[in-house]
Structure 1
């Protein structure tokens, strides 16, 4: 059964899509602390109000802080929505995941830095898996066991906007979970003592689909 909270999140995320935001400020603990209200604020209008108040309170550039915060808010609530989709599919996943192993799911936009076309990447997915693993920090590798990447791609290049398409993503993720096949996962030895299972869910919109 679909969680009604997903509809609320999806509706609020739409507000972010029309805003051209350039945030050149590197993520840091100080500004993260200033903007931690994002975790308890799903309503867009409330986020905007709190951004203005916090910028005044902490004496930071409001435009820069606005761009920094709305990107954090957008990523947090889109990721949370995916977590809710997965939690609703947990029972189905347990049936198809016979070994009862734990998997982490991570939503990413198609990495332009990989330097390959969508068609090439889909036909040579293992190369992308290795590229993602090598791009991870050493600490991330230590924490990485089994992971399934949800890769977002759209023809216009604005892959990040697909994070707001929760209903669409829900259908794609649910279909993958319901037909989960351990044999299709890649095995990757990131550390001497650890072999990780890694999978890809392709969330593609446009002619490339």
Structure 2
């Protein structure tokens, strides 16, 4: 289903005044309680739904933050995947609910992941860019647990803002579109990086760097 990128960006930016707090690692239990985020695009409607369902819960703040973050990440990812799929050499996943494949580029299937530059990474941004394969391996080792963890082809978009508010860049859809367009226009499958993170299995991956000046 096609969504207006401008509308998604406008709605995502309504979330920015609220602190980005998880309060806990992502887990299957909280995921099940907040799966309504997939069907709500308007931020004000999201706030209403959270209040209606959880206002009387003792852990209301935890669920509130969790739902806001899942909604924000989902709709940003939805917009990014839509941008990729606008290119003729990109095909969306046959099964929209397939959590391991978002789209394929020239026949190679990928799970897309927009990630903020990790605080715990041991290199500054300029060195990390020079050593991109090392950050990819770090992501595969440290990112995503429970139902999200897998060792499949991944295409990462890594966000970095000098003020440390990397997460806010997920709302900058028009800015991200320019970066993705530039990457896709020059896309060459031979430049994708190969990794052997499991025995007898090779995966391909790459990072699209989205660095705010």
TM-score normalised per structure 1: 0.84
Distance 1:110 1:116 in 2: 10
Partner of 2:205: 198
Q: 1:26 to 1:121 in 2, by over 3 A?
A: closer
Kindly name which structure, 1 or 2, has the bigger radius of gyration based on alpha carbons: 1
Distance 1:194 1:167 in 2: 36
Q: 1:101 to 1:38 in 2, by over 3 A?
A: same
Q: Say if 1:35 and 1:54, in contact at 8 Å, map to a contact too.
A: no
Q: Say if 1:92 and 1:178, in contact at 8 Å, map to a contact too.
A: no
Question: Matches of residues 144-159 of structure 1 in structure 2 within 5 Å?
Answer: 144-159=151-166
Q: 1:117 to 1:102 in 2, by over 3 A?
A: same
Q: Say if 2:28 and 2:146, in contact at 8 Å, map to a contact too.
A: no
Q: Which structure exhibits the higher relative contact order, with contacts defined as CA atoms closer than 8 Å and separated by 6 or more residues?
A: 1
Q: Say if 2:140 and 2:151, in contact at 8 Å, map to a contact too.
A: no
State whether structure 2 residue 6 is matched by structure 1 residue 7: yes
Give the number of aligned pairs.
Answer: 199
Question: Which of 185, 188, 196 pairs up with 1:181?
Answer: 188
Partner of 1:84: 82
Structure 1 segments of 4 or more deviating over 6 A? 137-142
Q: Say if 1:142 and 1:191, in contact at 8 Å, map to a contact too.
A: no
Residue 183 (structure 1) shift: 2.5
Q: Say if 1:14 and 1:164, in contact at 8 Å, map to a contact too.
A: yes
Partner of 2:122: 115
Residue 197 (structure 1) shift: 1.2
Partner of 2:65: 67
Residue 38 of structure 1 aligns to a residue in which SS? helix
Residue 33 (structure 1) shift: 2.8
Residue 108 of structure 2 aligns to a residue in which SS? coil
Residue 117 (structure 1) shift: 0.5
Let me know the Cα RMSD of the aligned residues.
2.4
Residue 137 (structure 1) shift: 6.7
State whether structure 2 residue 129 is matched by structure 1 residue 131: no
Give the unaligned 5+ runs of structure 2.
92-104
Distance 1:36 1:156 in 2: 32
Partner of 2:43: 44
State whether structure 2 residue 108 is matched by structure 1 residue 101: yes
Q: Say if 1:147 and 1:197, in contact at 8 Å, map to a contact too.
A: yes
State whether structure 2 residue 173 is matched by structure 1 residue 166: yes
TM-score normalised per structure 2: 0.83
